[in-house]
Structure 1
Amino acid sequence: METDGVALTPEQARSALADAERVRASAAELSAAPWPTWFAVTLTLYVAALPVTCGGIAAEADWLLPRPAWLGVMLAITAVYGALLAVAARAWRDRTGVALRWDVLPKWATVPLAAGLPVLLVGAAFAFRVTGRPGWLLAASLISAAVSVGFHLAFVRLHRKTA
């Protein structure tokens, strides 16, 4: 806070300290999620790329890339995601002493996610194959990314309630 040589009043100082405490508490809440923020971003990018990749694999004719290239992209991004998941899980275990487990997350969130996301990915690829319109893939990518961000924020909020 720039004061231009003017001393802060006690009220301004208390307000600045309260603001700093809110920022610290918010950062602590976000860092308490079961995965680091960089991994939440990685997961979001991965699920956003999956519909397009599945659509490329499912396309009747070569679409943007040959089908074997799409398969290679799918294998590469899945391998990178798997490796980063292992790094995130190890970081969580090192930080907390507890293994990263999906079964401790609330069933009200994980069951629809586990059932709905594959339907969204396969459904969009199927709709793209039938219609030839890539809008299906774009819509599925945007929905998948929104679900990923929403799931992360819901877990942070859930953690805030229990902490």
Structure 2
Amino acid sequence: MESNGVSLTPEQARAALADTERVRVSAAALSATPWPTWFFITLTLYIAALPITLGGVMADRDWLLPRPAWMAVMLTLVAAYGALFAVAAKAWRDKTGVALRLDVLPKRATVPLAVGLPLLVLGASFAFRATEQPAWLIAASLIGATASVGFHLAFVRLHRRTA
């Protein structure tokens, strides 16, 4: 086998393949690294604010703010989150050369979060609408923030183990 006029032995070829595999594993570990700290804090605050904001939007009557104000808050939160997500992803890509990817994270961690968080937020909002008890929204905010911190710490541990 020749490469650029250089003959490789079978051992050299195997070593090159092993190096390639180490680079692939290292890139996967880097892309599994948790968000920058500032974005983790922003994400946790967003998750904590979402149930309360959605509860205000879904309330039968004006609750604390008029419904159009809740809609403005909701749209602002979503737009700010989207913009900050893009900034965090770009900063990470510029720093490491690897895009942030959720597909390299363990499914046993990401699937419950991807399913449970929307159910928590929507369930609390519907419960608030039915009962008019803000405790549902406060509980969902606290549970969501706790889940965000827990998942962040789990991903930090995962990264340290694979790096």
Q: TM-score range by the shorter chain?
A: 0.7 to 0.9
Q: Amino acid of the residue matched to residue 102 of structure 2?
A: W
Partner secondary structure for residue 138 of structure 1: helix
Percent of pairs identical after alignment? 73
Amino acid at match of 1:81: Y
CA distance in 1, matches of 2:95, 2:115: 31
Alignment of 1:1-163 (within 5 A): 33-163=33-163
Q: d(CA) in 1 for partners of 2:117 and 2:72?
A: 22
RMSD: 1.0
Aligned to 2:35, the other structure's residue is in SS state: coil
1:105 and 1:61 mapped to 2: Cα distance?
42
Q: Which runs of structure 1 show a deviation greater than 6 angstroms over 4 or more consecutive aligned residues? A: none
CA contact (8 A) 2:39 2:88 kept: yes
Task: Tell me the TM-score normalized by structure 2.
Answer: 0.79
Query: Hey, what's the Cα distance between the residues in 2 that align with 1:77 and 1:38?
Result: 16
| 1:6 counterpart residue number | none
- Contact kept in structure 1, 2:34 and 2:152, CA below 8 Å: no
* Structure 1, unaligned runs of 5 or more: 1-31
Q: How many Å separate the matches in 2 of 1:103 and 1:54?
A: 28
Q: Secondary structure of the residue that 1:52 maps to in structure 2?
A: helix
Count of aligned residue pairs for this structure pair: 132
Q: Could you give the per-residue CA deviations for residues 73-122 of structure 1, whole angstroms, max 9, x where no partner exists?
A: 01001111111111100011011111111111111111000000000000
- Counterpart Cα distance in 1 of 2:34 and 2:132: 39
Question: In the TM superposition, what is the alpha-carbon distance from 1:152 to its structure 2 partner?
Answer: 0.4
Q: 1: CA distance between counterparts of 2:58 and 2:92?
A: 36
Q: Secondary structure at the match of 1:102?
A: coil
